[in-house]
Chain A
Amino acid sequence: MARRSRSERLWLRYLILFTWAAFCLVPMLWFLSIGLRPRTEVITAEPIYWPTWSLDAWHMIWRDWPMRAYLINSLMAIAGSVVICVGLAIPAAYSLARYEYRGRDDIGFYILSTRMMAPAIVAIPIFFLFRNLGLLDTVWALMLVYAAINLSITTWIIRSYMLDIPKELEDAARTDGASDLTILWEIIIPACRPGIITAAVIAAIFAINEFLFTLLIASTPAAYTLSVALANFSGGTDGIIYNAIALVAFIAFLPVFLVVLMIQKHLSRGLTMGAVKG
C-alpha cells in the first residue's frame, strides 16, 4: 500500500518535471533553429520545423552590422558598471552590516527600495540629465545607469554575506593592529569573496538584460549594445530580421549561462538580495 502510493508519486513527479522541461527546451531549440536558417525560411505560409541549415545570419551580423562594436560596447558598459557598482557597494555593505548608528536601517531600506523603482518612472529625467551632460549615445551613460540600477542589489547581496562573517574576526584583526580600512581590505573582502562574485555576476546579467534605458540612451549605433541591437534588427524597411535576433540572443546567452553555472550554489541568495540563503 505504502509502496504503491510512493511509486504513483514518482510517476507524477517525473510527468510534471519532464513536461516543464519540454516547455522550457522546445521553444529554445526552435529559436536556435531560427538562428541557423536562411531568412526566407523564417516567415512562411506554413511554418518550417526542419529548415535548410545555414549560417546566413551569422555572416550577416558580422558583415552588415557592426556586431564587433556592439559587443565591445556591451562589454565595456557592463564591465564598467560592475566595477563602479561593486566599488560603491562593498563599503556601503560593510557599513550596513557591521556598524551600529542612527538611521542605519532606514539607509539600508532606502538602498533596497531603489530596486523597486520602475525604470520608466525615472527614464524621462535621466534622459534629460544625460542630454544636458552631453552623455547621450555614449557607453559612459550606459555604464552609469547600469551601475545605478544594480547598486541596491549588489549592496544587499554583499551585506548578507558580510553578516555571516563572525565579528570576532574583526576584533582579532583590530587587536592585531589593523586599521578599519585594512580590516575591510584584508579580512572582510577576502572572506566574503563568493558574495562579491555572486553580486557581480547578477549585476552583469541585469545589465545585459536592461532594455528601456538602453533604448533611450543609446539611440545611435555608436552606443548600441546587444540588447538594443536586437531592437535594431527589427527597424527599417527590412522588417524584423528574426534569424539574426535569434543568433544574437544565443551569443549573449552562452557566456551568461557559463558564468551562472559557476555561481549556481549562490544563485538563489543572489536573486533574493540575500534574503533567502540557499
Chain B
Amino acid sequence: MTDALSNPGAVKAAPVTRPRRRRSRTMRRLFPYLLVAPAVIYLLGITLYPGLFAMWQSLYFVRFNNATFVGLENYADLMRDREFWQALWNTLVIGTISLTVQTVLALTLAYHAYRDPWVKGWRILFLMPMLFMPSAVAYLWQLAFNDGRVISDILMRAGVVDATIPFLSSVWLARLTLIVTDVWQWTPFLFIIFVAGLQSQDAEVEEAARLDGASWFQIFWNVSLPLLRPVIAVAVVLRGIDISTMFASVTIMTAGTPGGMTETISYFIYRTGFRMFNFGYASAASVVMLVLTIVIAQTVVKRAFRSGRA
C-alpha cells in the first residue's frame, strides 16, 4: 500500500493524453434541442399536419375524389347543425355525470381502502376492469343491458320492474348504459391514483388531527381532501379528457340512439366522415374541436399539471 503511495508513478497507468475538446458554444446550446427534436417532429406530424390538413379540407365539399371549394360554408352549416350541438351537449352531459360519479366513488373507495391492511389486494382487485379493452367492455355491457337482457332479468327477479327494460329507446336509460360502462371500467383509474395520493400524505398530520379530537369525516374533509387536491386535479383532468373522446362504447352499444341523444362528438365526426363520407364537413367539426381542445389544454390542463408537480 505505502509502496504504491510513495511512488505515485507505479499507480499511474500509461499516461493517457487526450485531445482537449473545446466544444463550441453553438453546439452546446443546440444539443438539448437536438435531443428533443425527433419527438417533437414526430408529434407535429400527427398534430400540426393533420390540423392544417383538416383546416384545408374543411373549406371544401369532398365527395369521393372530388373536392369543391366552398369557403366557410361547412362552418356555417355546422353552426346551424342541430346534430352537432346535440352531440356537443351529449358529450358534456354524459361526461360530467360520469366523471362526477367516478370521482365520488373513487374518493370514497380510496379513503376506505388506503389504510386497510389488504390495500394491495383491493388495488389489484379493483384495477381489473381497467385492463380490459374498452371495446370488450362495451360488448360486455351491451350484452348485459340489451342483447342478453340480464340487467332487466335481475331487476325483474328482484321485483323492481315487471317487464324487460327497453334501455335503447329512452334517452336517459341509453345514456345510463354508457355511464355505467364508463364508471365500471374507469373508476379504478381514479381510485389507484387517489390511493397513491393518500398514501403519500404525511400520516402525522392526520394523527395530529385525531388527537385534536376530529371525527373521521372532519379529518377527511378538512385535512386529507385539501392535501389531495392537486392529485385530484391531475387525475380528474386526465380522466375528463378521455371521457370527452368517448367513442368505443357509443359505436358498439348505442350508435347514437335514440335519435342521436347519445351521440358523442367523436362519434359525430366519425359518422360524418366515415359513414356519410362528408369529409369536408367532418373536418370542419374537427377544427372546431381542435380549437376547443387547445383552449382547454392551455387553461385547465396547464394549471392542473403545474399544481400536480408542486
* Contact, chains A and B (beta carbon distance below 8 A): yes
Instruction: List chain B residues, Cβ under 8 A from A82.
Output: none
The size class of the interface chain A forms with chain B is 35 or more
Q: What does the 1/0 interface line of A235-270 toward B look like (CB < 8 Å)? A: 000001010011011001100110011001001110
> Which of A14-22, A63-71, A192-200 contacts the other chain?
A14-22
Contact B54 A24 (CB under 8 A): no
Contact A99 B31 (CB under 8 A): yes
CB distance from A247 to the nearest CB of B (A): 10
Instruction: List chain A residues, Cβ under 8 A from B244.
Output: 118
In chain B, positions 147-168 with a C-beta closer than 8 Å to chain A are: 147-150, 153
Does A155 count as interface, using CB distance less than 8 angstroms?
yes
Partner of A272, one of B122, B234, B248: B234
Does B174 count as interface, using CB distance less than 8 angstroms?
no
CB distance from A12 to the nearest CB of B (A): 8
Contact B131 A257 (CB under 8 A): yes
Report how far A30 CA is from B151 CA in the complex, Å.
12
Instruction: List chain A residues, Cβ under 8 A from B51.
Output: 122, 125
Main secondary structure of the interface of A (DSSP, over half): helix
Contact B247 A212 (CB under 8 A): yes
Most chain A CB inside 10 Å of its own CB: which residue of B122, B131, B290: B131
Report how far A104 CA is from B296 CA in the complex, Å.
21
Please tell me the number of chain B residues within 8 Å of chain A, measured between CB atoms.
Answer: 98
> Which of B6-14, B72-80, B96-104, B297-305 contacts the other chain?
B297-305
Report how far A83 CA is from B274 CA in the complex, Å.
31
Does B258 count as interface, using CB distance less than 8 angstroms?
no
In chain B, positions 172-200 with a C-beta closer than 8 Å to chain A are: 184, 188-189, 192-193, 195-197, 199-200
CB distance from A103 to the nearest CB of B (A): 8
Contact A92 B36 (CB under 8 A): yes
Given contacts A21-B122, A125-B50, A278-B199, contact A253 B35 (CB under 8 A): no
Most chain B CB inside 10 Å of its own CB: which residue of A28, A34, A212: A212
Contact B49 A125 (CB under 8 A): yes
Instruction: List chain A residues, Cβ under 8 A from B196.
Output: 268-269, 276-278
Instruction: List chain B residues, Cβ under 8 A from A278.
Output: 196, 199-200
Partner of B252, one of A17, A28, A155, A234: A234
Does B45 count as interface, using CB distance less than 8 angstroms?
yes
Contact A107 B46 (CB under 8 A): no
Contact B109 A113 (CB under 8 A): no
Report how far A240 CA is from B148 CA in the complex, Å.
11
Does A25 count as interface, using CB distance less than 8 angstroms?
yes
Partner of B297, one of A17, A116, A122, A234: A116
Q: What does the 1/0 interface line of B17-47 toward A look like (CB < 8 Å)? A: 0000000000001011101101110110111
Does B126 count as interface, using CB distance less than 8 angstroms?
yes
Contact B305 A20 (CB under 8 A): no
Contact A230 B109 (CB under 8 A): no
Across the A-B interface, the 8 shortest Cβ-Cβ residue pairs: A249-B136, A278-B196, A125-B50, A268-B196, A99-B32, A275-B308, A92-B39, A95-B35
**Residues of A with Cβ closer than 8 Å to B?**
9, 12-13, 16-17, 20-21, 23-25, 27-28, 30-31, 34, 42-43, 46-47, 88-89, 91-92, 94-96, 98-99, 101, 104, 107, 109-129, 145, 147-148, 151-152, 155, 180, 205, 208-209, 211-212, 215-216, 226-227, 230-231, 234, 240, 242, 245-246, 248-249, 252-253, 256-257, 260-261, 264, 267-269, 271-273, 275-278
